[in-house]
Amino acid sequence: MPDRKRTEMIAVEDLIALVRNYNPKTNAEKIAAAYEFGRDMHEGQFRRSGEPYFTHPVAVAAILTEQRLDDATIITALLHDTIEDTKASYAMVSERFGSEVAMLVDGVTKLTNLQLSSRETKQAENFRKLFMAMSKDLRVILVKLADRLHNMRTIKSMSPKKQLQKARETMDIYAPLAGRMGMQWMREELEDLAFRVLNPEGRQSIIRRFITLQRETGDVIHRITGDMRHELDKAGIEAEVFGRAKKPYSIWRKMQEKEQGFSRLSDIYGFRVIVGSETDCYAALGAIHQRWRAVPGRFKDYISQPKSNGYRSIHTTVSGRDGKRVEVQIRTHQMHDVAETGVAAHWSYRDGVRAENPFAVDPAKWIAGLTEQFDAEEDHEDFLEAVKLEMYSDQVFCFTPKGDVVKLPRGATPIDYAYAIHTRIGHACVGAKVDGLRVPLWTRLKNGQSVEIITAVGQTPQVSWLEIATTGKARTAIRRALREADRERFIRLGRELARAAFEHVGRKATDKALDTAAKRLRLADRRELLARLGSAELTGHDVVQAVYPELAPDEGDAISPRRAVIGLEPGQSFERAPCCQPLPGERIVGITYRGKGVVVHAIDCEMLSRYEDQPNRWIDLHWHSGTHPAAYDATLELTIGNDAGVLGRICTLIGEKKANISDLDFVDRKPDFYRLLVDVELRDVEQLHSLMLALEADSDVASVERRRETAKSQGAVLV
């Protein structure tokens, strides 16, 4: 049990005074009542550090006063753990402090119970729940962020394992979420606190280099701040100028991204100029650019093109003293308020009234815009990828030929631009012009470029576009279109496979038979059955057996694949090498792997050359001489004529040879021929040779060859 510590907790009078500083009309009695209620509920509870537990809710409330938030949010902070950790109930909180506070406390409790650092699929589902909670009232996440910030500030009292878990969760989820909400100061502090846990040596190395740099160059911040004030005074601009060194994690990330050492890294100092009006912002920019040389490509005007969270500012990077690059942000006081508190500015108070900040965004519209594109994501991993991408993204602004502005994340391509305009435009995209010049679709767009999309009737999304697109909206639309196209292709292929499988037992694959099979296999309908058959989720044997179990081939007497190889030690497992796909009847040899058992290769596999100098890993093996089931896959490469019915006839021929198609992939489509890879399940090498002879004899098959890999290329080759 930890030692009990006597810790100075913020007194209720001091907390109320913090609120009164920005909201003189605060309901002090209600805050005091919440303070007393929370303290009573947490009586006898202690943190891992030994401090009374109630010091934590009070500290969270104090953090929220820095953002000048309303009474309901401050009271929620004081009570945010009562429903979860004490005898207090939702009804009790609602009765004493109103339904608004009870709803907020309940929302924070539900967020706390989400295990956001778990497996990817579950993490994605938790992100969905997190966004749902945020969409009801964004103040829930403001309290949760402040809760996480205080926990990270006091993380040393946790066990090392718990510290790592919380730090990763903070770096992956809470820090980028704070940044996405416009609370940059909180993002930076959360990142740095997590960095302190995840990579203490890296953080210390950055701090040591800073100390060395200061020793060599003196107080750069003080000198440059003075120079800027002098230039602005000369131009007659009233301004406040602040400078600071960037946080250790921010510098570390730049070093990793740019693959540069600390000494070569530029703009490690940041300066902020706060002026009275928007006009003064541009005047200050002119004065700074007159005095220092601007760095090309580092200018961003978020005043004329604000971020979705309401952020407005001018960013520029200039070469300062001794050629050192420094970043300068120029904004008005109102813009600065939004830059500091982000979406939270909607609830902030000044002098007792809600701050009427024209730059504060409506939280409901903001969260709706953030979640809209994720609602359509069916796949959890796709959803998580889109969420993380959206939260980390910066923006570029491009123009349509008519002069309209299209906002995109940094790194976006013409494909992203096309889908941002309309899904129909994205699907039909065949090319793009940037500033009048034709460019590849993988081109990264830059601020201020004019983009024109070239479309064509009949064009459909390509699989390669998934590697090009960066926005969640584009990737979602492409995946959905590809899934629909694949489904139709699988249904057509499944129909041919079903026909071949039923003909093999002397029956026809009628709609009634397929409906019966779908019902017995508990599938929605025959289209679903055919799609699964075409995508190799079902086999023809499965479908036939569902309708005619008495006619389906019986493979019960065949040798189990688990005991098909002779020469292994008792209990030793094996797997077939994917490079040569050895079949029963071929001469084989085994290569031992630590923790993996034995990998079986054909004796003529070129990959075996890698193990010539390791004879102790070789095992002499041979196949069991009995009858094997058709369970061993081999890959054939076929070139066939592009005529009606050819593919169906090939599938029928394969079925007649009692081989099952487990996968089929078109690798080349031409007007007169198809080249495709067919994975077939076979009994042995004799069946393979018989099948290949039958295929070669077909007049519409130009070539058929077995596909294997070589040690030289480590890629596929035909042998």
Query: Which residue numbers are catalytic?
Result: 84-85
DSSP secondary-structure letter at 295?
Answer: P
DSSP secondary-structure letter at 87?
Answer: S
CA torsion, ordered 689, 692, 698, 699, to nearest 10 deg: -120
Cβ-based neighbours of 294, under 8 Å, separated by 6 or more: 316, 317, 318
Distance between CA atoms of residues 81 and 72, nearest Å:
15
Q: Are 382 and 376 in contact (CB under 8 A)?
A: no
Q: Are 455 and 485 in contact (CB under 8 A)?
A: no
Distance between CA atoms of residues 334 and 355, nearest Å:
10
Distance between CA atoms of residues 58 and 10, nearest Å:
7
Q: Residue 522: left (phi > 0), alpha (psi -120 to 50), or beta? A: left
Distance between CA atoms of residues 442 and 468, nearest Å:
5
Residue type, 540: G
Distance between CA atoms of residues 621 and 575, nearest Å:
13
Tokens of 146: 């402040």
Q: Helix, strand, coil shares of the chain as percentages rounded to 5?
A: 50, 20, 35
DSSP secondary-structure letter at 268?
Answer: -
Distance between CA atoms of residues 366 and 344, nearest Å:
11
Tokens of 267: 């703009």
Radius of gyration of the chain (CA): 33
Closest Cα partner for 551 from 514, 516, 503?
Answer: 503
Q: Residue 479: left (phi > 0), alpha (psi -120 to 50), or beta? A: alpha
Q: Give the HSE-up count for residue 530: Cα atoms under 13 Å, Cβ half-sphere.
A: 24
Determine which helix (DSSP H) or strand (DSSP E) holds 453, and give its type and residue range.
strand 451-455
